[in-house]
């Protein structure tokens, strides 16, 4: 990733590195504006935040969805790149590995506002974000969950996709409801995966007819 290891002509490089810096500036600006004003923020605002003209935005991201996707794909990639128990953290405790990765997932979602909301947007052109999210993260969660199930630690009726969406959803609302503790609720959700006593919740309710 060092800028020196590209064996090209210097003149050409200079231009390109400028442009790349600008693209990064734009991504940062867009992330900031999205976090502040939502994914539907006008492109003009993003350009202003980045301190460039609108044309520059469109040079780097030909259409509005392209920009949105770029902003969040970046984040999704970063997430997928933390390979869960990769750092060798207690492979003999799969639930702890799950919790650890999910904590990182949650931190990411809570910090960089907007990704969960973006995933639920119905704007045309955001399908690839959708796909990216699923393709990159589901396999990770799948591995983590399967390990837990195999170890008999958690219930087997929760699919990775469901869990992933659920976690993403729980992270929505950090700035809409300032007091909302997203991380805590994710923890509760994970606790709900654990095997409880004989049966999850029914064991304690001997003769209470389950309300419809």
Partner DNA sequence: TATGAATGAGGTTTCATTCAT
Partner DNA sequence: TATGAATGAAACCTCATTCAT
- d(CA 118, CA 67) in angstroms, rounded, equals 12
Answer yes or no whether residue 187 interacts with its own copies by CB under 8 A.
yes
| Residue 6 site contact among DNA, its own copies, none (CB < 5 to 8 Å, cut-off depends on kind) | none
Answer yes or no whether residue 103 interacts with its own copies by CB under 8 A.
Answer: yes
Nearest CA-CA partner of 117 in 54, 182, 47: 182
Q: x/- string (CB under 8 A) for its own copies, residues 12-41?
A: -------------------------xx---
User: What is the closest distance, in whole angstroms, from the C-beta atom of residue 54 to DNA in the complex?
Assistant: 4
Q: Tell me the C-alpha distance between 120 and 85, whole Å.
A: 29
Among 31, 49, 60, 102, the residue binding DNA under the rule CB under 7 A is 60
- Cβ closest to its own copies, residue 3 vs residue 55: 55
Beta strands in the chain (DSSP E): none
Q: What separation in angstroms does the CA of 117 have from each of 34, 105, 151, 176, 206?
A: 10, 15, 34, 12, 41
Interatomic CA distance for residues 133 and 148, integer angstroms: 22
59 part of the interface to DNA, by CB under 7 A? yes
Site for DNA in 23-42 (CB under 7 A): 40, 42
The yes or no reply on residue 9 touching its own copies (CB under 8 A) is no
What CA–CA distance (Å, rounded) separates 40 from 59? 19
- Measured from the CB atom, the residue of 125 and 192 that comes closer to DNA is 125
Cβ neighbours of residue 60 closer than 8 Å, sequence gap 6 or more: 19, 22, 23, 26, 67
Q: For its own copies, which residue of 35, 120, 131, 141 counts as binding (CB under 8 A)?
A: 120
The answer to the question of residue 78 lying near its own copies (CB under 8 A) is: no
Half-sphere exposure of 23 (CA within 13 A, CB side): 16
Burial class (CB in 10 A: 0-12, 13-18, 19+), 30: buried
Is residue 165 near its own copies by the rule CB under 8 A? yes
Residues of the shown chain interacting with DNA in the complex, contacts defined by CB under 7 A: 14-16, 18-19, 22, 40, 42-44, 47, 51-56, 58-60, 62-64
Binding site for its own copies (CB under 8 A): 37-38, 89-90, 93, 95-96, 99-100, 103, 117, 119-122, 130, 152-153, 155, 157-159, 161-163, 165-166, 169-173, 176-177, 179-181, 183-185, 187-201, 204-205, 208, 210-212
């Amino acid at each position: 990733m060092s800028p020196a290891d590209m064996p090209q002509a210097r003149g050409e490089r200079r231009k390109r590195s400028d442009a790349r810096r600008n693209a990064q500036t734009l991504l940062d600006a867009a992330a900031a504006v999205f976090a502040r004003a939502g994914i539907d923020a006008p492109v003009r605002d993003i350009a202003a935040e980045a301190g460039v003209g609108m044309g520059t935005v469109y040079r780097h991201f030909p259409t509005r969805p392209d920009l949105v996707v770029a902003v969040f794909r970046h984040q999704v990639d970063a997430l997928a790149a933390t390979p869960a128990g990769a750092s060798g953290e207690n492979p003999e405790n799969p639930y702890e590995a799950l919790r650890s990765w999910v904590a990182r997932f949650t931190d990411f979602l809570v910090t960089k506002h907007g990704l969960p909301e973006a995933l639920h947007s119905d704007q045309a052109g955001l399908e690839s974000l959708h796909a990216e999210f699923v393709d990159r993260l589901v396999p990770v969660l799948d591995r983590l969950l399967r390990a837990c199930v195999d170890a008999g630690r958690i219930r087997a009726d929760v699919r990775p996709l469901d869990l992933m969406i659920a976690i993403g959803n729980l992270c929505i609302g950090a700035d809409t409801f300032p007091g909302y503790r997203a991380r805590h609720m994710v923890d509760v959700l994970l606790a709900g995966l654990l095997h409880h006593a004989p049966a999850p919740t029914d064991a304690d309710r001997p003769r209470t007819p389950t309300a419809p």
